[in-house]
Amino acid sequence: MKQVLGILLLLAALKTQAQSDTGSIVVHKDPRIDLLVKKQVEYNEFNTRESRRFAQGFRILVINTNDRNKAMNAKSRIYQEMPDLKIYLTYQAPFYKLKVGNYKDREEAEQALPAIQRLFASGVYVVMDVIEVNPDKSAELQ
């Protein structure tokens, strides 16, 4: 029995000694893996571009009318007075809605509101809408 116990202790000591040796591990990576990773990044960039282009935000509703000429006149007036402002004219039967701007938060939209209210007597207010995030940059990407 003492011999078996002695042999087991000897084997345990040898096992511990083998584990304490510090060796180095060399990994050989296939260069095609880098190509696959690069391809996946390009694929993800292409497929998520549209979803990153639009976000929930605010716009200023300038006019909501069923008269197309009124909506077009309002659009022309804004183009003349504020040419750098992005304008969106939509038709939801029977109304034409003219909205301007791409504002990420309400406070930013409310700061721009007085300038537009000077051009139009009434009915101008901030509304929640899906806005273009960096519309100029996303146009360059396409």
Give the DSSP per-residue string, 74-122.
HHHHHHHH-TTS-EEEEEETTEEEEEEEEESSHHHHHHHHHHHHTTSSS
What pLDDT was estimated at residue 122?
A: 85
User: Bigger pLDDT: 51 or 110?
Assistant: 110
pLDDT of 18 above 50: no
Residue among 89, 99, 85 at smallest CA distance from 135: 85
Percent of the chain scoring above 90 in pLDDT:
54
pLDDT tens digits, 61-95? 999 999 999 999 999 999 999 999 999 999 999 99
Say which residue the tokens 């004219």 belong to. 89
What value does the mean pLDDT of the chain take? 84
Q: The pTM is what?
A: 0.61
pLDDT of 42 above 50: yes
Choose between 5 and 66: higher pLDDT: 66
**What pLDDT score does 61 carry?**
96
Distances from the Cα of 81 to the Cαs of 52, 67, 76, in angstroms? 31, 22, 9
The answer to whether residues 82 and 120 touch, using CB atoms and an 8 Å cutoff, is no
Higher-confidence residue of 123 and 109: namely 109
Please, what sign has the CA dihedral across residues 76, 80, 81, 87? positive
The pLDDT, as a whole number, for residue 21 is 55
Strand partners, 89: 98
